[in-house]
Amino acid sequence: HSARFLARQQQSESNARAYPRRLPIALAEGSGSFVTDVDGNVFIDFLTGAGVLSLGHNHPELVRAVTKQLGRLTHGLDFPTPAKDAFTEAQLSMLPPGMRDRMKVHFCGPTGANAVEAALKLCKTATGRGDIVSFQGGFHGSSHAAMALTGLVSQKQPVANGMPGVHFFPYSYCSRCPVGLSPDTCATNCVTLLENALNDANGGIPLPAAVVLEMVQGEGGIVPARPDFVRRVRELTRALDIPLVVDEVQTGCGRTGTWFAFEQYGIEPDVIIASKALSGIGTPVALILYDRRLDTWAPGAHSGTFRGNQLAFAAGVEAIRVIHRDDVLGNVAARGAQIADRLAVLTRLPWVREVRGRGLMWGIELADPGTGRPAGSLAAAVQAHALRQGLIVELGGRDDGVVRMLPPLNVTAEVVDTACTILLAAVEESCR
């Protein structure tokens, strides 16, 4: 059955091979942490629509909220509507108290990449500058500028992508330290390279319009930034009056245990990019939150038809209500600790380089113990093994050498336990 759908898709679609290439299933329906394929096989879903379904598939209260909105108003361009108003208020209420009054919301249509584009245009307009600083290994989307900022070279090589004025600097990827230090000898020397380039008026780089940073590189292989790295980037950008843009498309909406991941780093960014899990149920929406000081662009400067998805707004308000009521962020912390605990044993295997994560964003990095090279084919074997045992996980990082998990934020201890058992066996057997 699945095979028939896969073959039909392969024949008719131009590029129908990204996810199904490695996860060859045709999806029929989903409920909570589970998804069922067209043959009736049930899987634990630790991909959750690429981090979109933060409350799992078809959360009943979100379904109800969408259904209720459905007969009322579905699309509203950028007109004010009650659903949009409630959503905007709810989003602002999730910001740290000190930031609420100084941030504005701009709706973007409707993907994360579009919100990245908006953030760049905002910062370029406000500063009058053209250059952008981004980080190695980062991911920001598939549209042209978002792709140009993406530091995962494999994602953009085939189209010879590059934009003049985009400068890449090392990220604090400590287990592959860009400057060859160990955590105890490091005083975040990787930031020194950025600092030096920004302060060298003759041989460095022009003062950029923005520095764009992920708090945890997601597609880049679940690499949490070091706190002192983030703080130094913030100090540097503040001293030089460069807007700091945090891309929370993947880390946002509770994924790392706080509503936004930057909250755990004790910094305040100037621009926040969010999308994926904003509605909690996959009805698309994307936005930027930005400091009023940057609000110098003209009305209509970043427009777009699909900025008014009322179904997404209705679901998003309900998602926040459920997240508060059910202490979902408390669950993220508890289930994250459970995953850390269960998977820690893997690091005794020579091919397991590191197990890392924040909240419910986890990765197992596999690498050749001799050369240190990412072990992409081993990670693919782990993924295939897990799928056969009923667990969907994704890959990422350099050469796809990291097995990644993005469980629903309300996942139960029991499901986490089963998933970890499957994953432990998959890694142990694949490494044999």
Interface positions, 241-270, toward ligand PMP (CB under 6 A)? 247, 249-250
Please, what is the angle between helix 413-430 and helix 328-343, to 10°? 30
DSSP string, 172-195: --GGG-TT---TTT-S-HHHHHHH
Nearer to ligand PMP, 218 or 408 (CB): 218
User: 3-state class of 203 per DSSP?
Assistant: coil
Q: How far apart are CB 97 and ligand PMP at their closest, in Å?
A: 26
- Contact pattern for ligand PMP over residues 117 through 156, marking x by CB under 6 A: ----------------------xxx---------------
Tell me if 112 contacts ligand PMP by CB under 6 A: yes
Nearer to ligand PMP, 45 or 219 (CB): 219
Interface positions, 52-81, toward ligand PMP (CB under 6 A)? none
Tell me if 113 contacts ligand PMP by CB under 6 A: yes
Phi first, then psi: give them for residue 119, nearest 5 degrees. -60, -40
Nearer to ligand PMP, 260 or 351 (CB): 260
**Cβ atoms within 10 A of the Cβ of 31, count?**
14
Q: Which has the closest alpha carbon to 54: 360, 364, 413, 402?
A: 360
Q: Which has the closest alpha carbon to 248: 301, 287, 211?
A: 287
Site residue total, ligand PMP (CB under 6 A): 15
Q: How far apart are CB 430 and ligand PMP at their closest, in Å?
A: 25
Q: How far apart are CB 249 and ligand PMP at their closest, in Å?
A: 4
Nearer to ligand PMP, 91 or 114 (CB): 114
Tell me if 218 contacts ligand PMP by CB under 6 A: yes
Nearer to ligand PMP, 111 or 134 (CB): 111
Answer for which of 131, 195, 214, 400 binds ligand PMP (CB under 6 A) is 214
Nearer to ligand PMP, 111 or 331 (CB): 111
Tell me if 221 contacts ligand PMP by CB under 6 A: no
* Side-chain-facing half-sphere of 67: CA atoms under 13 Å: 7
Tell me if 404 contacts ligand PMP by CB under 6 A: no
Answer for which of 88, 172, 189, 275 binds ligand PMP (CB under 6 A) is 275
On whether the CB atoms of residues 343 and 355 are closer than 8 A, the answer is: yes
Nearer to ligand PMP, 216 or 314 (CB): 216
> 36 forms bridges with which residues in the sheet?
29, 42
- Biggest CA pair distance of the chain: 64
Any idea what the Cα angle at residue 11 is, between residues 7 and 17, rounded to 5°? Answer: 70
Any idea what the Cα angle at residue 374 is, between residues 368 and 375, rounded to 5°? Answer: 65
Q: Which span (14-22, 87-95, 105-113, 345-353) binds ligand PMP, by CB under 6 A?
A: 105-113
Nearer to ligand PMP, 172 or 250 (CB): 250
What CA–CA distance (Å, rounded) separates 292 from 278?
Answer: 22
Alpha-carbon distances of 402 from 307, 368, 373, 377, 395, rounded to whole Å: 34, 12, 12, 10, 5
Tell me if 111 contacts ligand PMP by CB under 6 A: yes
Query: Burial of 29 by CB count in 10 Å (0-12 exposed, 13-18 middle, 19+ buried)?
Result: exposed
Tell me which residues touch ligand PMP (CB under 6 A): 50, 111-113, 116, 139-141, 214, 218-219, 247, 249-250, 275
